[in-house]
Amino acid sequence: MQIKNGNLYTQGCFFEPHDLIVSGDRITRIAPSGFDSNEEEVLDAAGCYVLPGFVDVHIHGADGADFCDDTSDHISTISNYLGKKGVTSFLGTTMAFSEEILNHIIDDALPHFNQEEGGAVLRGINMEGPFFAKSKKGAQAERYIIDPDFEMFERLMERSKNNIRLCDIAPELPGAVEFISRAAKQCAVSIAHTTATYEETKEGFAAGANHVTHLFNAMPPFAHRDPGVVGAALEDADYVELISDGIHIHPAMVRTVFQIFGADRVCLISDAMRATGKPNGEYTLGGQKVSMTDGKATLADGTIAGSATDLVECFRRAVHFGVPIEMAAKAATINPAKSVGLEKEIGSCSEGKRADLLILAQDLSVKAVLIGGKRIV
């Protein structure tokens, strides 16, 4: 297949007129625009943006399904929904649960890791919980929240066949620093759901954490005399997650994060839950009842419970808020891929990488999606 006449998001993170040649599941050539490849199948992307498929490293569910469900088709439901939207890779994200429940979640996921099933590819697990501060639990169920237990983590990692790619932790908890130093040798470690001070967060980064989960949410505020987690992240974090749905973070702060952290460190995430793509109504997250009204999902006490916005829509909103499209694209593609060690296969349009591609019209609506070289939209 030749994808021609489009504005390709290049490795230099600019949109430039180039054609792509796709053979099998790989990008085999990047050619000058108008190149005659003699390919029988041609996709005309005139006037469109051609990007790598988006990578969501923090998503709980969509289209009525949750990654933690115990059903026969919940992962396929999420995968199919995301693929049609333009997300081509994702990490299934857990909640604070007991080890027994997490075992079941992992067992259900094992047959799906890195398998092409017609939608977004499940690339691993984001283990969000249960090692959190109870006072910053957000929508996590308090009854499951415990202090860091590395032996538990190690058993779960082994059970997952090393498919936990991101583990979240509050660094101020007893044993957290030692946990981070050991876990960071096996996966990325993220600061999350925390009351940590600036100094405690710096300790976590020094021990090996390199990531911050949904910046500003479920952590102390960023203050001029008490910089907290955000201040420490500015100095030490390789990556920070940002939910740009317009509900979790004010649009001005979305712009500010890109300005102060720069283009290379921000990862747009959806934090989407099962209400995404569904009508207003009652849903669940982590075993708790959630009400979703016009895109805002909350617990009974008003606590925000994930989002009801997919990653491509979060990208659109970031651009609408004033983030340059090149920066927003980087935060939805190569940055999240790098943050969890997937950049050799996905996250950029370069020869030899997987042909996971998203083609957007000028208004950023989806024109086409390819996963493993196969057009699904």
Task: Point out the catalytic residue in the list 245, 271, 310, 356.
Answer: 271
- Positive/negative CA dihedral, 93, 120, 78, 219: positive
Which of 352, 377, 363, 360 has the alpha carbon at shortest distance from 26? 352
Q: Which two tokens stand for residue 178?
A: 């030692």
**Which residues have C-beta within 8 Å of that of residue 251, sequence separation ≥ 6?**
317, 321, 322
The one-letter code for the residue type at 14 is: F
Compute how many other C-beta atoms are within 10 angstroms of the C-beta atom of residue 289. 12
H or E segment to which residue 236 belongs: helix 228-236
Q: Is residue 309 a contact partner of residue 295, using CB atoms and an 8 Å limit?
A: yes
- How many whole angstroms separate alpha carbon 264 and alpha carbon 331? 7
- How many whole angstroms separate alpha carbon 257 and alpha carbon 219? 16
Q: Is residue 59 a contact partner of residue 272, using CB atoms and an 8 Å limit?
A: yes
Compute how many other C-beta atoms are within 10 angstroms of the C-beta atom of residue 46. 9
Say whether 271 is catalytic: yes
φ, ψ at 341 (rounded to 5°): 75, 30
Annotated catalytic residues are 271
